Amino acid sequence: MIDNVSEKLIVTGGTTLRGESFVSGSKNASLPIIAATLLANGRHKLSNVPLLSDVNGFATLLTTLGLSVSHAKNRVLTVTNNHDGTPTQCHAPYDIVSRMRASILVLGPLLASRGTAKVSLPGGCTIGARPVDLHLKALQLMGATISINHGYIEGSVDGKLHGANIDFDKVTVTGTANILMAATLATGTTTIRNAAMEPEIVDLCHALLNMGASISGIGSNTLVITGVESLSSAEYSIMPDRIEAGTLLCAVTATGGDVIVHNCPISTLNTVIHKLQAMGAEIYADNSHIGSVHVIAKKRLQAVDVDTNPYPGMPTDMQAQLMTLLAISDGTSIVTENIFENRFMHVPELNRMGAHIHANETTAFITGVETLYGAPVKATDLRASASLLIAGLCAQGTTEIHDIYHLDRGYEKFEDKLIALGAKITRQS
Binding residues (CB under 6 A) for ligand UD1: these are 28, 128-135, 170-175, 196, 198, 310, 315-317, 339-340
| Rounded least distance, CB 201 to ligand UD1, Å | 10
HSE (side-chain half, CA atoms, 13 Å) at 255: 27
Q: For ligand UD1, give the closer residue by CB, 179 or 394.
A: 179
- The answer to whether residues 362 and 336 touch, using CB atoms and an 8 Å cutoff, is yes
Q: For ligand UD1, give the closer residue by CB, 45 or 130.
A: 130
In sequence order, what are the residues at sequence separation of 6 or more whose Cβ sits closer than 8 angstroms to the Cβ of residue 149?
Answer: none
Q: Which one of 90, 125, 264, 394 is the catalytic residue?
A: 125
Q: For ligand UD1, give the closer residue by CB, 166 or 353.
A: 166
- Residue 187 DSSP label: B
Q: For ligand UD1, give the closer residue by CB, 195 or 279.
A: 195
User: Within a 10 A sphere around the Cβ of 232, how many other Cβ atoms?
Assistant: 15
| Rounded least distance, CB 327 to ligand UD1, Å | 21
| Rounded least distance, CB 309 to ligand UD1, Å | 7
| Rounded least distance, CB 243 to ligand UD1, Å | 7
| Rounded least distance, CB 425 to ligand UD1, Å | 24
Element (H, E) at 287: none
- The answer to whether residues 293 and 260 touch, using CB atoms and an 8 Å cutoff, is yes
In Å, how far from its chain's centre is CA 194?
20
- Concerning whether 125 is annotated as a catalytic residue, the answer is yes
Residue 219 DSSP SS3: coil
How far, in Å, CA of 24 to CA of 4, rounded? 21
In sequence order, what are the residues at sequence separation of 6 or more whose Cβ sits closer than 8 angstroms to the Cβ of residue 423?
Answer: 11, 15, 17, 251, 255, 393, 415
Q: Which residue type sits at 264?
A: C
Q: For ligand UD1, give the closer residue by CB, 129 or 148.
A: 129
Q: Which residues are marked as active site?
A: 125
